[in-house]
Amino acid sequence: MRLFGTDGVRGVANQDLTPDLALALGRAAARVLGGDGETRILVGRDTRLSGPMLEAALAAGVMSAGAEVVSAGVLPTAGVAYLAERHAFHAGVMISASHNPVEDNGIKFFAADGHKLPDAVEDEIEAEMRRRPAGPVGAGVGRLRHDPGLREEYLAHLTQLVRRPYSGGVVLDAAHGAATAVLPLAFSPAARRVAVLCAEADGARINVACGSTSPGYLKEHYQAFGGTVGLAFDGDADRLIAVDEEGEICDGDVILALLATWLKARGELEPSKVALTVMSNGGVRDFLAQEGVASVVTRVGDRYVIEAMRQENILLGGEQSGHIIYRQASTTGDGIATGILLLSALEETGVRLADFRRRIPHYPQLLRSVRVADRDTSLRSTRYLETLAAAEAGLAGSGRVLVRPSGTEPVVRVMVEAQQEELADRWLERLCSALAQGD
């Protein structure tokens, strides 16, 4: 099985993702990504309890290959990507499992240009891990340097994104994660009143009943802290979910649509096109089309969104989950940059987020995971293929079906979207039953 997934190497820390594995990854990555001269690699992490352990192991691997490690400490993922490009590091590494539970962790690499590594380069690193060339000795061994000033540079970059300060109050949920390193300083110039919840850098509570994966916490508390709107981040601050003035949750689809129409009105969305994934609601694509903004649809995963953006020179893209990429601000999803831009858009347009949310049609999307004996056999069964053909015919023009086999377990995920919920429910039941029964 391939070591790298869609977002780096991830697993239960000290069980799947061990210090030994981190060391081997660091050594191999330094050899594959390094230059002819002195190789420099930037490392950042979120607040997870396992972060310092994995950072130490990865740094040891990098140094054993003769490269220098520069540690930025706790920092959002987008900060690592931004600083890697700005300071011409050979690579940036983020140690985080993003929105995953406390026990998980991950190692994610960025190239010198701040973008995630292509599959082919990840495969090179895996191949290099199987080699055991002799390492340097004496003065050839790499060095470790801590540079807390890098965080200040990322903060300065964020504050430059403010177009017009928001006159209302904003309450931020830092999820006890990497966002705690830069909040509320990043938002002080962006809004008149700023309050932060879950602001302790507590690796035992990262993402626990808070943040973008549990926006109900922010929804329950934001008004008590003087907020007109609320913004919730995940563990590494690359996702953003908002709560509007009426306490309703606004996902990445709503945020992307608002930024797209605002930037288009400012003449800053050329071409007039966005990239989004197959999971984005059909209602947002219809809304954007009415506003003169075309949609390019990609596979699920922000790396595929970014890939499409680079290929077609698209400036804005994102996922329903809250990964939003604006290429003028970042090379990867940046929840903090997105939040600052969102507040500027609300202030400049004078629109309430709740009113904008209501303008976007939201078609019912029903999701279910079906456990099967064999994914390939179930997806080839006559019963399933006939049901799928009937569903696509029955939903033509009014909905769609998305079926995705899991890459790691005997599960098939089924999503049915329709303009009427009972229609979506009917076809979801039939498809799931057909998959479960097989031929």
User: Does 254 map to a domain?
Assistant: yes
Looking at the structure, tell me whether residues 237 and 343 fall in a common domain.
yes
- Per the CB < 8 A criterion, the answer to whether 83 and 155 are in contact is no
Residues 68 and 175 in one domain: no
Q: Is residue 2 part of a domain?
A: no
Record the tokens describing residue 278, joined without a space. 């197959």
Question: Which residues are CB-contacts of 208 (< 8 A; sequence separation ≥ 6)?
Answer: 101, 102, 176
Mean pLDDT, range 140-163, rounded to an integer: 96
Q: Are residues 216 and 99 in the same domain?
A: no
Contacts of residue 55, defined as CB under 8 A and 6 or more positions apart, other chains included, come to 43, 45, 71, 95
pLDDT of residue 431: 95
- For residue 297, being part of any structural domain is answered with yes
Helix or strand run (H / E) with residue 306: helix 302-312
Tell me: do 248 and 341 sit in the same domain.
yes
Lookup: tokens for 54: 């994995």
- Cα-only R_g, the chain: 22
User: Is residue 169 helix, strand or coil?
Assistant: strand
Task: For residues 430 and 253, give the distance between their C-alpha atoms in angstroms, rounded to a whole number.
Answer: 28
- Respond yes or no: is residue 295 known to be catalytic: no
Q: For the chain, how many residues are written?
A: 439
Mean pLDDT of 266-270: 96
Whole-number percent of the chain with pLDDT over 70:
99
Contact 235, 211 (CB under 8 A): yes
- As a whole number of angstroms, the distance between CA 12 and CA 222 comes to 32
pLDDT at 169: 97
Q: What is the pLDDT of residues 94-103, one digit of tens each?
A: 999 999 999 9
Identify the band that residue 352 occupies on the pLDDT scale cut at 50, 70 and 90. very high
Q: What mean pLDDT comes out for the span 314-323?
A: 96
What is each CA distance from 245 to 249, 320, 366, in whole angstroms? 10, 20, 27
Number of independent structural domains in the chain: 3
- Based on the fold, state whether residues 336 and 221 are members of the same structural domain: yes
238 and 333, same domain (yes or no): yes
Which of 330, 359, 388 delimits the end of a domain?
359
Residue 4 belongs to a domain: no
Distance between the two ends of the chain, CA-based, in angstroms? 29
* 383 is a domain residue: yes
| 425 in any annotated domain | yes
pLDDT of residue 337 exceeding 80: yes
- 336, pLDDT greater than 70: yes
171 and 319 both lie in a single domain: yes
Say yes or no: 105 and 214 in one domain. no
Domain of residue 239, residue span: 161-359
Q: Which residues pair with 294 in a beta bridge?
A: 273
Does 56 score more than 80 pLDDT? yes
What gap in Å lies between CA 351 and CA 95, rounded to an integer? Answer: 38
How far is the C-alpha of 316 from the C-alpha of 298, rounded, in Å?
A: 13
Q: Same domain for 209 and 347?
A: yes
What are the DSSP E strand ranges found in 257-339? 273-277, 294-298, 316-318, 324-326
Among 339, 359, 379, give the residue marking a domain's end: 359
**pLDDT > 90? residue 123:** yes
Q: Are strands 9-12 and 91-95 parallel, antiparallel or unpaired?
A: unpaired
CA angle 52, 56, 60 (to 5 degrees): 170
Question: Residues with Cβ < 8 Å from 398, sequence gap 6 or more?
Answer: 418, 419, 420, 423
- Angle at the Cα of 151 from the Cα atoms of 147 and 157, rounded to 5 degrees: 135
The answer to whether 233 and 177 are in contact (CB under 8 A) is yes
Any domain includes 70: yes
**Which DSSP string do the residues of 209-226 spell out, in sequence order?**
S-STT-THHHHHHGGGGT
Q: Which residue has the higher pLDDT, 244 or 375?
A: 244
| pLDDT of the residue at 408 | 66
Q: What is the pLDDT of residue 1?
A: 74
Structure tokens at 309: 């953006």
Q: Which helix (H) or strand (E) holds 301?
A: none
User: What's the rounded Cα separation, in Å, for the pair 173 and 206?
Assistant: 11
Please tell me the distance from the alpha carbon of residue 434 to that of residue 341, in angstroms, as a whole number: 45
Active-site position among 71, 98, 321, 344: 98
- How buried is residue 140: exposed, middle or buried, by Cβ count under 10 Å (0-12/13-18/19+)? exposed
Residue 438 has pLDDT above 90, yes or no: no
pTM over cut 0.75: yes
pLDDT of 27 strictly over 70: yes
How far apart, in whole angstroms, are the C-alpha atoms of residue 252 and residue 229?
15
170, 315: one domain = yes
Residue 412 · residue 406 · CB < 8 Å: yes
Q: Establish if 3 belongs to a structural domain.
A: no
Q: What is the CATH number of the domain that holds 190?
A: 3.40.120.10
> Which residues touch 56 (CB under 8 Å, ≥6 apart)?
19
- Give the pLDDT score at 150: 97
Question: What is the sign of the dihedral through the CA atoms of 310, 317, 279 and 361?
Answer: negative
Q: How confident is the model at residue 37 (pLDDT cuts 50, 70, 90)?
A: confident
Runs of H (alpha helix) within 130-215: 149-159
Instruction: Specify the pLDDT at position 301.
Output: 87
252 and 145 assigned to the same domain: no
Our measurement of the distance from residue 317's CA atom to the centroid of its chain's CA atoms, rounded to an integer in Å, reads 12
Q: If you average pLDDT over residues 274-294, what whole number do you get?
A: 96
pLDDT for 187 equals 98
Last residue of a domain, one of 359, 394, 425: 359
| CATH code, 422 | 3.30.310.50
Give yes or no: residues 86 and 104 share one domain: yes
If you average pLDDT over every residue of the chain, what do you get?
Answer: 95
Report the alpha-carbon distance of residue 171 to residue 211 in Å, rounded. Answer: 12
Strands (E) in 135-198, as ranges, are 144-146, 166-173, 191-197
